[in-house]
Structure 1
Amino acid sequence: MKNPLDPAKLRAALEDVQRAGMPGVFAEVWDGDQVWRGAAGVADVATGRPATADMRHRVGSVTKTFTTAAVLQQVESGQIGLDSPIGRYLPELVPGGRSEAITVRMLINHTSGLAEYLPYAYPSLRAFPVLADTSPESLDDNRFTRFHPTELIEMGVTAPAVGAPGGTPGVYSNTNYLLLGELLGRVTGTTAERYITRAVIERAGLRDTELPTEPHIDGPHSQIYESWFGMIDPPRDYSVYDMSWVGPAASLISTVTDINRFFRLLLAGEVVSPSSLAQMQRTVPVISQEGRTIDYGLGLHPMEAPGQETFWGHGGTVWGAGTLAMIRADGERQMTVAVNLQRWNSLGPSGTPQPHPIDDALAALHHVAMYG
C-alpha cells in the first residue's frame, strides 16, 4: 500500500519528540523520489540556537555498517577470507586457541565470544549492565584520553569470554569492530580510518562524513547532551570528545542526508557487491547492549513491525548523541533520525530504565516516517 510522505504529520511527530523532552531532533525521510527534511528544538540549550536538518552529528554504531562494507570489499578482492580465522591476520592480538576458532565473520556478526572492553576502559561503568551501580565519572575522566586500539582490544580479549566462538546467541561487543579496524590496517597497508574514507565514504560521494582524528566536530553541528540515566543533572555537553575510545566501531561524524545516501547505495549493490549484501543480510540472534535479543547480520540488522515490511539499518549512540537509520528492503522508503540527548530514562527501584515520553514519541516518529 502506497503511503506518500505527509510533511504536516512528519513535522508534528518531530515536534512531539521535542515536547517530550528531547532538546533537539532532526531527520530526513525518503519515499521514492520524494524527500522531507525537518528539525525541531535547539542545538544548544544555553544559547537557544535552533537545530537544523543539515547539522553534522556523531552517529555512533552506524559506523559499524561502514566498517563492514570496507571489510567486505577486501573479501571481494581476495585479501580477506570471510570465514578465515582472525589468527591468520592478527595472531598477536587474539592469542591461544581462539585465534584459530574466531573467524572474520564472527567478529562482524558479534558471535566471537569476545567481551566488551568498555567497562575496563571506563572503570566507573565496570558494573554495567547493572546500571544503578555505575557512575558517569569515567566519561569526564576520558574526555581527552587518546586510546590505542590494541590497548582496548587487549582489555576485551583478556576479559572473561561471553560465549564460545560461533555460538548463538552472540553478544554485541565493540571489541570485535576494533579488531576489524586492525585487520583492515594489516591487509591494506594504511589505517582503517584512511581506507574506510577512501573506499567507502568518498566512493559513496558522502561530502559531510568523516572518521575524526581530533575531539572537535567541524562545521555546523549540535551540542550533544548526556544524562546517564539521570545521574548527570542537568545533562552535560559532550560534543568535544576524543573518539579513539570507539574508533571504527562508533566514531563516525555524518549528516542525516549522507547516512540516507549511504544506505540507498548499499541496498542498491553500489557499495559492496550484491553477493556481499546478501551476506550482510544473513542474520543470527545477538544479545544487544540493552539486553534484548535481536537478529544481526554483517553490520546490518532487520527492523520490522508485525505483519509489515522489513527494514534494514543500524542504530548508534555515543555520549550525548543518538542516530537511527533504516531503509525498506526494496530501497524505496527510508529515514535517518538524529537526537542530541542520550540515556534520558531514569532508573526505577530495581535499577532498570523507566519508560519516558521520549520513547513513545520517537516510536511514533519512526512509524509515521516509515509507514505513513
Structure 2
Amino acid sequence: MMVALVTAAAMALGPAAAVPQDMELQRKLDAVVAIGALAEVRDGTRVWRGSSGVAELGTTRKVPVAGRFRAGSITKTFVAAVVLQLVAEHRMRLDDPVERWLPGVVPNGENITVRHLLNHTSGLYDFKDTLPMPPNPAFYELQHRTWTPAEQIEQALAHPPVFDQPGSQYDYSNTNYVLIGEIIEKVTGHTYAEEIERRLIRPLGLHGTSMPGTSPYLRGPHAHGYVPKDGELVDFTQMNPSLFGAAGELISTTRDLNRFFDALLGGRLLPDRLLEAMKTPGTPDRAYGLGLSWHDTACKIRVYGNDGDALAYQAYTFMTEDTRRQVTIAVTPRLPDNPDTSVDAFIDQAIC
C-alpha cells in the first residue's frame, strides 16, 4: 500500500520510533470495509498519509493518497463558518428569523431562526427523504439532473414539519442548509459557493477543494465511487452535485479538510464566542452544534468535526479539542455494507 510519512526536522523522536504506530494505522486502514480508502493523520508536527484498496473496480490501481472525493455533509461546516463570519461582521444574527431574509418562503418562518437551521432544530422536513434511493430504478435517472434550491425547498415544504415548536427537538434535515445557502446569497449578494471560495478555500490554500455546482466531474486524482444496482455495483463517480447543493456538494482532500478544521477549531476563522456557539448543542441530548458534531473516542478523548455521505463516497474528519491530533478518512464504500464501525476503529487508533 502507498504510504507517505512526513516528519518535522525538530521532531523529538526519530522516524524509526514512529514506525509501529504507522504500521498499526495502515493495518486499521486496510481493515476498513470499503472498496478503497485514504487517510491523513496529524499528531503535532508529524503527518501520516496512507491509502488502501483499489481506485477502480476491475483494476489493481492504488487509491491516490492525495486523491479528491465528495465530502458530503462536511460541506455544512464550511457553510456554517461563512454564516458565523457574517454574524461576526454584524451583517446578520443567529436569532434572525428566516422570514427576515426569505419572506414568504417557509411556513412559520417568523419563528424559525438561522440558529435553528444550523443546528437542525427547525423541524423542517428533509428534502432527501422525498427522493428515490438505490436500488429504486428511479434513482439512477437523477444522476445528471440539475436541481435548484427552490425545487428542493418546495419538495420539502410539501410535507408538514416533523415537530411544531422550532428549537424543541433535533431532527437532521438537509433542507435547513439549502435555506442557509439562500440566506447567504440574500445577505451578501453572492452565492454560498462564492463566499466559501472567497472566505475559506483561497485564504487557507485548499488547492484540492472546490464547490462544483452542477459539474459532474471529479477533477484531479481520485478513486471511483459506486452504488448498487441489480445486485452489482455501478460507477457513480460522475453525478450532478446540485442534488446536494449547500447541504453537501463539497469536493476535497484529506489534507485540505485537516487544514480547514485546524484553522476553524484553532480559532483562526471565528471569534471565540462564535466558536463556542458552534460547539453548543441545539438540544441537550445531541452532540451537534452549528454545523459541527463531536463524539468521544474509545479512550474517552472528545473529538470535533463532521462526517459526510455523498452516496458513492463517505468522509469523516475529527480533531481533538487541544487541536494537537487530527484524522481525516475518506472511503468509497462497498454498499450496502456500512463502513462506520471499521472507520471508528481507525479513528480510535489515530486519536488514542
Instruction: State the number of aligned residues.
Output: 335
CA contact (8 A) 1:117 1:152 kept: yes
Match of 2:325 among 324, 330, 333: 333
- State the 1:192 CA deviation: 1.2
1:229-277 CA deviation, whole Å, 9 max, x = no partner? xx65322211100011111110100000000000000011112222211
1-structure distance, mates of 2:167, 2:97: 15
The equivalent residue for 1:171 is: 171
Q: Which amino acid aligns with 1:302?
A: W
TM-score by length of 2: 0.90
Match of 1:304 among 296, 299, 302: 296
The equivalent residue for 2:311 is: 319
The equivalent residue for 2:23 is: 8
Instruction: Label 1:188 to 1:258 Cα distance change in 2 as closer, same or farther (>3 A).
Output: same
CA contact (8 A) 2:124 2:156 kept: yes
The equivalent residue for 1:25 is: 37
1:196-242 CA deviation, whole Å, 9 max, x = no partner? 11112112221110010211111111111123xxx653222111000
Q: Which amino acid aligns with 1:296?
A: Y
2-structure distance, mates of 1:26, 1:136: 30
- C-alpha RMSD of matched pairs (Å): 2.0
The equivalent residue for 2:129 is: 119
Identity fraction in percent: 35
Instruction: Label 1:305 to 1:168 Cα distance change in 2 as closer, same or farther (>3 A).
Output: farther
The equivalent residue for 2:282 is: 284
Structure 2: 5+ residue runs without aligned partners? Answer: 1-16
2-structure distance, mates of 1:256, 1:336: 5
- State the 1:135 CA deviation: 3.7
The equivalent residue for 1:367 is: 348
The equivalent residue for 1:226 is: 227
2-structure distance, mates of 1:224, 1:275: 39
Instruction: Label 1:63 to 1:162 Cα distance change in 2 as closer, same or farther (>3 A).
Output: same
The equivalent residue for 2:206 is: 206
- State the 1:58 CA deviation: 0.3
1:131-174 CA deviation, whole Å, 9 max, x = no partner? xxx74323311011111111101111231111134343310000
SS in 2 for 1:209: coil
Q: Which amino acid aligns with 1:365?
A: F
CA contact (8 A) 1:163 1:170 kept: no
1-structure distance, mates of 2:297, 2:251: 29
TM-score by length of 1: 0.85
1:172-208 CA deviation, whole Å, 9 max, x = no partner? 0000000000001111111111111111211222111
2-structure distance, mates of 1:79, 1:70: 11
2-structure distance, mates of 1:237, 1:270: 39
The equivalent residue for 1:81 is: 93
Instruction: Label 1:173 to 1:188 Cα distance change in 2 as closer, same or farther (>3 A).
Output: same
The equivalent residue for 1:141 is: 141
2-structure distance, mates of 1:76, 1:13: 41
2-structure distance, mates of 1:183, 1:332: 34
2-structure distance, mates of 1:74, 1:4: 43
Structure 1: 5+ residue runs without aligned partners? Answer: 126-133, 287-292, 346-355
Task: For 1:233-252, list aligned pairs within 5 A.
Answer: 233-252=231-250
SS in 1 for 2:52: strand
The equivalent residue for 1:34 is: 46
Structure 1's consecutive aligned runs of 4 or more residues displaced over 6 angstroms after TM superposition are none
CA contact (8 A) 1:70 1:195 kept: yes
